[in-house]
Structure 1
Amino acid sequence: MDAVFCNNCGHRNPEGANFCSSCGAVLSGSGPDTTTVTLHPVEAQGDPGDEELTVSLPDKAAGVGLLVVKRGPNAGARFVLDAPITRVGRHPESDIFLDDVTVSRRHAEFTHDGSGRHTVRDVGSLNGTYVNRERIEEAVLTSGDEVQIGKFKLVYLAAADE
């Protein structure tokens, strides 16, 4: 059975669902106003979850990125990075809410410049933000990078050039 992932909170919902059972957001399905884009990690590491991933993204998907939770309480959740700034933290108003004590209320921000380049920046978190196991203040991401926020490990994927 296929699943539909919520673009708001990343929750996995059964196929055919119209609303997210976790946050209540409207689930957008594939239709005439969407394009299917295949995303590939740049470097395969042989870990489970590194297989090819196909998701539906809105038309004009250039510049859109995706975060997939590889490890942590929300393993498998997906978050679309389509806003100029995406705030991550334990604060209830965060764009990506990661509910764990290892995550600061305002932990990190993902930004993109419209050309497809995404950057992650630590915004003064207690435990730090890591890209590929190195603590960073700010880093430009490439497809396949592993971002660690608290005990959450997320893989960044960029839309493949067709």
Structure 2
Amino acid sequence: MDLKAATHVCVSPVEMEGDDTQVLPRSPMYLITIQGGVPGAMLRIEGPEASLGRSAENVHQFPDPTISRRHAVITHDGSGDAWLTDLGSSNGTYLDGKRVPPHAATRLEDGARIQLGASIILKYASLGPDDERFQREMFERTVRDNLTGLYNRGYFMEQIGPLCERNRMRNLGTALLMVDIDHFKRVNDLHGHEAGDAALREVAKVLRESTRSDDLVARYGGEEFIVALPVASADQGWERAEQFRRMLASRPIRAGRKELRVTASFGVSSSTMARPRGIKALMTTADVALYEAKRTGRDRVVAAERMLTAAERRTESCDALAV
């Protein structure tokens, strides 16, 4: 899930002078998160209309329970003026501290602050190329892990909800992979922290190279990583994790003059259309599966669904014997 890949070229407005068309320079408009979500996040406003709300059908989604599914819309008219309209939301839309009337367009000025529901506050602002670059760099520093370049835990936790919702809208499930480098303390003790850092970077590189734009990858903390990806079935989550495991096990890691190899254990849990799970349940069951992978020898993938199936079979056998 690459923020940079989500940036598009904004079409400049034009002015008609006789038979000639003149392109007028104009900075693209953004909503910049001030409160709620990830501070500094930049949402680009493109086209004549951008809807805001809790559901994935909106141009910009805000997974906050105080925001309505279709909360508000920003429109731009032929003159380039911007307008904010509340779509009859339950908890209201506020512009510079004042609640706007529902279903009535209110003029939106550069620099205005928009509040959606109880906790989301956004700044509507134009950014020139230099300002945009600076704002993006500052944002990247807040959401990236310094050592590996992956997203950090905080950003992952902000994005996992919207990702699950987008997958659901596409009739897909979500697989959650918890990844733990095997015997990481031993790597540090035997080869030094430089080798440990090299191992962390290499695991991050394998995950980054093996995932797609729809996937979400982060360093969860220490030697743990976490991956969320769309799947059509629980088996697909296990298969992707097994691909990661094999690639990592075969990859040499260089730290100075030293060359070593590391393995990792994977715990997988899936929420599918047939068997949905909430985010808390996804993370809990993936963590249980990871513990089982480490307990049973490491360098392996354990899926929560397969553990449950085996437990259910044992329960059925016990029930049959009791009868």
CA contact (8 A) 1:63 1:112 kept: no
- How far, CA to CA, are the matches of 1:92 and 1:155 in structure 2? 21
Aligned counterpart in structure 1 of residue 46 of structure 2, from 70, 78, 82: 82
Structural mapping, 1:1-162, within 5 Å: 20=2, 26-28=5-7, 58=10, 60=12, 62=26, 64-137=28-101, 138-150=105-117, 151-158=119-126
What are the superposed Cα offsets for residues 16-45 of structure 1, whole Å, 9 maximum, x if unpaired? xxx617xxx83458xxxxxxxxxxxxxxxx
TM-score by length of structure 2 reads 0.32
Query: Aligned Cα RMSD in Å?
Result: 2.4
SS, match of residue 144 in structure 1? coil
CA positional deviation for 1:120: 0.6
Q: 2:10–2:46: 8 Å Cα contact kept in structure 1? A: no
Task: Specify whether residues 28 and 146 from structure 1 end up closer, same or farther in structure 2 by C-alpha distance, changes over 3 A only.
Answer: closer
1:47 is aligned to none
* Shift in CA distance, 84/28, structure 1 to aligned 2, threshold 3 Å: closer
Alignment partners' CA distance in 2, 1:159 and 1:116: 15
Deviation at 1:110, TM superposition (A): 0.4
Partners of 1:63 and 1:111 in 2: CA distance: 16
Distance change in 2, residues 1:62/1:114 (3 Å): farther
Determine the C-alpha separation between the residues in 1 that align with 2:87 and 2:63. Answer: 17
1:90 and 1:105 in contact (8 A); partners too: yes
Distance 1:152 1:96 in 2: 12
In the other structure, the counterpart of 2:229 is none
Unaligned 5+ runs, structure 1 = 1-18, 30-56
| Partner SS for 1:26 | helix
Q: Residues 86, 58 of structure 1: CA spacing in aligned structure 2 closer, same or farther, 3 A cutoff?
A: closer
- Number of equivalent positions: 112
User: Cα–Cα, structure 1 residues 27 and 158, in superposed 2: closer, same or farther, change >3 Å?
Assistant: closer
Larger fraction in strand? 1
Structure 1 or 2: larger helix share?
A: 2
The structure with more radius of gyration: 2
Provide Cα deviations, 1:66-114, integer angstroms capped at 9, x if missing partner.
Answer: 1101111232111111211101000111100001101100000000014
Q: Sequence identity of aligned pairs in percent? A: 31
CA contact (8 A) 1:62 1:159 kept: no
* Structure 2 unpaired stretches of 5+: 13-24, 129-323
Which structure would you say has the larger RCO, counting Cα contacts within 8 Å and 6 or more residues apart? Answer: 1
Q: Aligned partners of 1:59, 1:109: CA distance in 2, in Å?
A: 20
